[in-house]
């Protein structure tokens, strides 16, 4: 038996942000809290939402005291802001961290306590109330935060999450027009994050026919369009396909789960403040270099989906060609492909491994199990940029 969960309503397409009018009426909203990344406000992406709220005569407060990979204090301040404003609807417009804060704040606003109280690894409370309705509007094509029920927070040496069905969006609005001005590096990092969601979901031990169908469609869209979206950001079709690919990957990974790449990426974010998408991108080839023998039939299908040469090749050769192409993709979109490039030292690898192996919630979905030694070996490969490729 399998179940499949998604936001209650998903609105997509160019100009879909106009749907805010209907949402205001549906929820009979009178006081709206908007969370937006400072840069989103600066480049005018929150204007459309604000204009609609003004037209509808709805009181709103715009909150921008946010940051990527937010520590707990940023979350607590946001929760208090919603409580103090006495909002009846919360809208988040921004990258994954902004949407995570929106989810957590909307729910915690009507529950007692702090972010720390509800963390997955160390929290002591469980959410009792559903919280305020929330609308999530991504401005990047990648994180899938508008789809999932997870809010990620940075701790001193790693990350932890609040995860609960109450955090699922009431409405997710995916408007590709909001991604037209994304700079190449953000497009690349969020795009590889989306690809990682799709590939990790595809080989997850919890994958189903439905999540596989979604994962493969997301992989097709992203591998065909990511390079164009990065280097020709004004290409509307590439932006649309990336927005769709990200949503579809989000639906797949939310239900099948991500695993080793995300697990090992968490300490890179926690300890070295490497943005989430880049943490995944720098590990993606090396994790798959480790796990491919455990999911050979699916790696073979991926070789076809990646449009790699397949004639006369054995399944093993096809699998390692996928691994190699993941490393090539990182280079092609201008992202670092080794941990060295981030200033990480060989002496940091033990600490990374000790923190990475703690992410059991994620690692249990991996088709190949991890030990402390194999976890360290993956980090070491990523440190040096060396692939075994079945040798």
DSSP state of 221: H
Q: For the CB of residue 277, give the shortest distance to Fe ion in the complex, in Å.
A: 7
Cα separation of 285 and 385, whole Å?
9
- Report the residue number, 37 or 193, with the smaller CB distance to Fe ion: 193
| Min CB(260)–Fe ion separation in Å | 12
Q: Give SS3 for 93.
A: strand
CB of 284 to Fe ion, least distance (A): 11
Are 352 and 275 in contact, with CB atoms under 8 Å apart? no
Minimum distance, C-beta of residue 191 to Fe ion, in the bound complex (Å): 11
Per CB under 5 A, which region of 8-16, 105-113, 186-194, 353-361 contacts Fe ion? 186-194
Decide whether 46 or 143 has the Cβ nearer to Fe ion.
143
**Count of Cβ atoms closer than 10 Å to residue 159 Cβ:** 26
CB of residue 77 to Fe ion, shortest distance in Å: 24
What are the residues whose beta carbons fall under 8 Å from the beta carbon of 277, sequence distance 6 or more? 142, 143, 186, 188, 189, 190, 191, 192, 193
State the minimum distance, in angstroms, from the CB of residue 200 to Fe ion: 9
Q: Which is nearer to Fe ion, 212 or 278 (CB)?
A: 278
Provide, rounded to whole angstroms, the least separation between the CB of residue 195 and Fe ion: 10
DSSP 294-344: GGHHHHHHHHHHTT---TT--HHHHHHHHHHHHHHHHHHTT---SSGGGT-
Stretch that binds Fe ion, among 40-48, 185-193, 237-245, 363-371 (CB under 5 A): 185-193
E strands present in 29-163 = 31-36, 59-63, 89-94, 134-138, 150-154, 159-163
By CB under 5 A, the residues from 356 to 375 that bind Fe ion are none
The minimum distance between CB 41 and Fe ion, in angstroms, equals 24
134-138 vs 171-174, strand pairing mode: parallel
Question: 3-state class of 29 per DSSP?
Answer: coil
CB of 25 to Fe ion, least distance (A): 33
> What does the alpha-carbon distance between residue 288 and residue 284 come to, in Å, rounded to a whole number?
6
Chain residue at closest Cβ approach to Fe ion: 193
Q: Which is nearer to Fe ion, 19 or 154 (CB)?
A: 154
| Nearest approach, Cβ of residue 197 and Fe ion (Å) | 6
Q: Which is nearer to Fe ion, 193 or 241 (CB)?
A: 193
Piece in contact with Fe ion (CB under 5 A), picked from 22-30, 109-117, 191-199, 301-309: 191-199
Contact between 193 and Fe ion by CB under 5 A: the answer reads: yes
Span interacting with Fe ion, options 25-33, 38-46, 170-178, 187-195, rule CB under 5 A: 187-195
Considering the complex, state which of residue 188 and residue 320 has its C-beta at the smaller distance from Fe ion.
188
d(CA 161, CA 29): 29
Residue whose CB is less far from Fe ion, 193 or 305? 193
Q: Which of 117, 204, 96 is nearest to 160 (CA)?
A: 117
Binding segment (CB under 5 A) for Fe ion, from list 116-124, 192-200, 322-330, 375-383: 192-200
- 302 contacts 199 by C-beta, under 8 angstroms: yes
Residue 199, phi-psi category: left (phi > 0), alpha (psi -120 to 50), beta (remainder): alpha
Size, binding site for Fe ion by CB under 5 A: 1
Q: How far is the CB of 276 from Fe ion (least distance, A)?
A: 6
The one segment of 20-28, 58-66, 189-197, 297-305 that binds Fe ion by CB under 5 A: 189-197
Q: Closer CB to Fe ion, residue 53 or residue 155?
A: 155
Q: Please, which of residues 45-104 interact with Fe ion by CB under 5 A?
A: none
For the CA atoms of 377, 380, 384, 389, the dihedral, rounded to the nearest 10 degrees, stands at 20
Provide φ and ψ at 268, rounded to 5°.
-65, -35
Nearer to Fe ion, 149 or 193 (CB): 193
Nearer to Fe ion by Cβ, of 76 and 193: the residue is 193
Which of 21-29, 152-160, 188-196, 206-214 is the region at the interface with Fe ion (rule: CB under 5 A)?
Answer: 188-196
Give the nearer residue to Fe ion in terms of CB position, either 97 or 325.
Answer: 97
In terms of Cα–Cα distance, which of 12, 13, 5 is closest to 252? 5
CA distance 167 to 35: 15
Name the phi and psi angles at 31, rounded to 5: -135, 110
Q: Which positions touch Fe ion (CB under 5 A)? A: 193
């Amino acid at each position: 038996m399998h179940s499949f969960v998604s936001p209650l309503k998903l609105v997509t397409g160019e100009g879909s942000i106009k749907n805010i009018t209907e949402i205001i009426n549906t929820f009979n909203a009178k006081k709206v809290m908007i969370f937006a990344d400072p840069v989103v406000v600066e480049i005018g992406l929150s204007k459309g939402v604000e204009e609609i709220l003004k037209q509808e005569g709805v009181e709103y407060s715009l909150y921008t005291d946010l940051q990527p990979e937010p520590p707990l204090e940023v979350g607590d301040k946001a929760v208090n802001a919603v409580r103090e404003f006495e909002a009846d609807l919360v809208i988040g417009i921004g990258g994954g961290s902004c949407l995570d804060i929106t989810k957590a704040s909307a729910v915690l606003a009507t529950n007692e306590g702090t972010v720390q109280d509800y963390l997955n690894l160390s929290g002591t409370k469980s959410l009792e109330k559903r919280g305020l309705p929330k609308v999530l509007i991504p401005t990047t094509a990648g994180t899938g935060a508008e789809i999932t029920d997870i809010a990620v927070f940075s701790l001193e040496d790693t990350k932890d999450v609040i995860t609960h069905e109450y955090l699922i969006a009431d409405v997710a609005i995916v408007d590709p027009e909001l991604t037209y001005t994304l700079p190449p590096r953000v497009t690349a990092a969020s795009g590889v994050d989306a690809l990682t969601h799709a590939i990790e979901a595809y080989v997850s031990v919890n994958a189903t026919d439905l999540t596989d169908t979604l994962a493969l469609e997301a992989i097709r869209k992203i591998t065909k369009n990511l390079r164009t979206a990065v280097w020709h950001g004004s290409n509307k079709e590439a932006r649309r396909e990336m927005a769709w690919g990200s949503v579809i990957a989000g639906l797949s990974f939310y239900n099948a789960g991500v695993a080793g790449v995300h697990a090992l990426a968490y300490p890179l974010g926690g300890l070295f403040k490497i943005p989430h998408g880049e943490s995944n991108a720098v590990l993606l080839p090396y994790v798959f270099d480790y796990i491919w023998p455990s999911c050979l039939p699916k790696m073979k299908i991926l070789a076809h989906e990646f449009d790699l040469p397949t004639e006369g090749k054995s399944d093993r050769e096809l699998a390692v060609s996928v691994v190699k192409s993941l490393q090539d993709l990182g280079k092609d979109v201008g992202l670092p492909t080794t941990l060295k490039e981030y200033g990480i030292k060989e002496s940091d690898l033990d600490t990374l491994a000790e923190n990475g192996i703690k992410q059991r919630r994620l690692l249990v979905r991996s088709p190949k199990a991890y030990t402390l030694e194999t976890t360290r070996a993956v980090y070491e490969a990523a440190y040096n940029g060396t692939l075994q490729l079945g040798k």
